Structure 1
Amino acid sequence: MSFPDFYGRMKRVLLHSAFWLIYLLQDTVLEFVWVGPALKNIPENVQFWMAFKAAIAAWIPKLVFTYFILYVTIPEFVKGSRKLFWTVLQATGAIVVTIIGYRLVFVYCINPVIYGGMLTARPVFHLLSILLAVMDIGFVCGVAFTLKLLRIQLTVREREKNLVREKLEAELKFLRHQTNPHFLFNTLNNIYALARKRSEHTAEVVMRLSKLLRFMLYESKSDLITVADELKILDDYIELEKMRYDRLTIHFQRDIDDSSRKIAPLLLLPFVENAFKHGASESRFDSFIRIRVQLQKGLLTFKIENTKENHTYEEIRDNIGLRNVRRQLELMYREYDLQLQNDPQVFSVKLYINLTSYAQV
């Protein structure tokens, strides 16, 4: 038996023991109050001890019936191994046998042995006594059944929650893995362009790409990285891209109060990729990319804008990178705001994230 199985069984045994202990104490108090007036000239401590023994004697048939219903009748009905008619018949037979046993315990054990015949003697099939037996047995069985249903519901809810979490984790991994090939494809295109020009920067670009890929393969697998590491990736990528453009001006402004704050990895890179791909690479004249990162008390503000040359207001269509970032933001942060603006000459992105609102998937 594995440790989790052993731990689960021990936990179940302790919970059942606690339930029955609490019930026995409650039943003892009721027995003490109910029978007390009939036990004259007997000290209260002796009365309470007698009530406790009576509660234990009456507890045995209730215990057998409760577990029979919980672990035989109901499971067979749920599995479909018995039809409703046979299930009702089985439960009816069990309650009849339990009531008879319950009354036999009272008539031949509790009254004559525990109370010494001081209670009014009643036959086994006394109508009022049978009704009281039905109420007593039904109460404890009903409470136990309700608790079992509650536990089953909580277990099902926890299982559903785990399935949802696993689904979201799988989706998040897919999004990140989809982003990495997209980045690699764009960068290889850059290297190809430099190689065609026989640029002296080709070897340096390959080296920088190697560093970025090493980060993506190992560091980006973590749920969170520091803001400093995220900005370092942006710096490396910008340096890699700058080698392709002569008439590009890049401004990168930072205002960081705590660079050790945690952020989801590679969350900002797609915006920078997008600025180069749809801005600088499509511009024939002087162009610019302006980036501003501000982090104050856990609130991250990221703004990036780039020039464009079509001079039209176009409907913003998300590419793979932007679409993936949107979905990652939905999965990972409860408080964020992403705004895209496509003006005639400038495309801009504004992203606000409360880094403390990270919702672990």
Structure 2
Amino acid sequence: MKRVLLHSAFWLVYLLQDTVLEFVWVGPALKNIPEDVQFWMAFKAAIAAVLPKLLFTYFILYVVIKEIIKGNVRLSWIILQVMAAFIIIIILHRIVFVYYINPVIYGGVLKERPLFHVLSVLLAVMDIGFVSGVAITMKLLRIQLVAREREKNLIKEKLGAELKFLRHQTNPHFLFNTLNNIYALARKQSEHTAEVVMRLSKLLRFILYESKSNLITIEDELRILDDYIALEKIRYDRLTIHFQREIDESSGKIAPLLLLPLVENAFKHGASESRFDSFIRIHVQLQQGRLTFNIENTKENHTAEEIRDNIGLGNVRRQLELMYKEYDLQLQNEPHLFSVRLYINLTSYAQV
């Protein structure tokens, strides 16, 4: 219905424009006829003249363009069809003017040229070409806009699917590490085993349900970090953890499970590989939608080799690319210390 209304509006506007042109063009030859009658005659002439234009325009829109889009017909055959249709429409256009508009509508007042007079044929080409060209251009623009919107939606769906895959990839990675911790405690017959299982259940509940949202509050994200740290502290006796936070608005929004892999990485490659006293320092600052997250951990391999992203860091980097327009992730590997600095403008959320 909407398409019918749009097409009707287009042709109505064209008819009014063509009526005005016809009125101005023919008016001097109809001096003894009142202007309101002249305008009515011009309107009837415009209606009669529009019929060949309608036929040619819709032939191009719904036959030729569809064949081009499908790509099943050779270009030479399409060109031949258009040329044949154009010639037929020009002939029909001239017949309407010579045998109907002039003798019937204008009562033979106008001096009409022969059917195939060169100047008259050229005017017919311009008359048909103008309205058909405008209509075809609008159709092609609409097709292009629809194609761009479809492409945009496909890209959005692809990025959304990739983001879900990254989060699902992170979840088993986290679960695998935590189950290793529970296994180690169970072998020691530790009294903390039940507590660890309970905390793991709490974390998994969050991962399965709340992390499905595009955004969660900073408060919820930090609560998950607290639960994870508490779970890990049970395992490591000679580990000191400093967790400092400066939050101006705890209800600020952030993508879920974005900070957890960074903390998990500090435990996995710091405390778990350390034979002596070690520490993890975490500092979170949120000021006016700007988040700065710093975390550093001791290490004992005494090397400062080139940093390579593991699964956790690689996933964080890719999620940042998908979800935020303004961010910075920096890694620093020193002989005794590994540090990560993450900056995010949380207001630059990309709406994947």
TM superposition score category, shorter chain reference: over 0.9
Of 232, 235, 248, which aligns to 2:226? 235
Q: Does the alignment pair 1:38 with 2:11?
A: no
1:226 corresponds to which residue?
217
Q: Which runs of 5+ in 2 are unaligned?
A: none
2:328 corresponds to which residue?
337
Runs of 4+ in structure 1 deviating by more than 6 angstroms, as ranges, are none
Q: Residues 251 and 81 of structure 1: is their aligned pair in 2 closer, same or farther, counting only changes over 3 Å?
A: closer
Amino acid at match of 1:153: Q
Q: Residues 51 and 220 of structure 1: is their aligned pair in 2 closer, same or farther, counting only changes over 3 Å?
A: same
Deviation by residue 1:274-295 (Cα, 9 ceiling, x = unmatched): 1111111122222111111111
2:288 corresponds to which residue?
297
Cα distance in structure 2, aligned partners of 1:296 and 1:220? 24
Deviation at 1:219, TM superposition (A): 0.7
User: 1:13-28 maps to which residues of 2 (within 5 A)?
Assistant: 13-28=4-19
Cα distance in structure 1, aligned partners of 2:336 and 2:176? 27
Moved more, 291-300 or 96-105: 96-105
Deviation at 1:152, TM superposition (A): 1.7
Cα distance in structure 1, aligned partners of 2:103 and 2:163? 71
Amino acid at match of 2:39: F
Cα distance in structure 2, aligned partners of 1:84 and 1:291? 66
Q: Residues 294 and 78 of structure 1: is their aligned pair in 2 closer, same or farther, counting only changes over 3 Å?
A: closer
Cα distance in structure 1, aligned partners of 2:295 and 2:64? 66
Q: Which runs of 5+ in 1 are unaligned?
A: 1-9
| TM-score (norm. length: structure 2) | 0.95
User: 1:176-255 maps to which residues of 2 (within 5 A)?
Assistant: 176-255=167-246
Alignment size in residue pairs: 352
Q: Residues 85 and 346 of structure 1: is their aligned pair in 2 closer, same or farther, counting only changes over 3 Å?
A: closer
Moved more, 72-81 or 10-19: 72-81
Cα distance in structure 1, aligned partners of 2:263 and 2:70? 57
User: 1:1-361 maps to which residues of 2 (within 5 A)?
Assistant: 10-361=1-352
Deviation at 1:75, TM superposition (A): 2.7
Q: SS at 1:271's partner residue? A: helix
Q: Residues 342 and 76 of structure 1: is their aligned pair in 2 closer, same or farther, counting only changes over 3 Å?
A: closer
| Identity of matched residues, % | 82
| TM-score (norm. length: structure 1) | 0.93
Deviation at 1:73, TM superposition (A): 3.1
Moved more, 277-286 or 334-343: 277-286
Deviation at 1:67, TM superposition (A): 0.7
Moved more, 94-103 or 70-79: 70-79
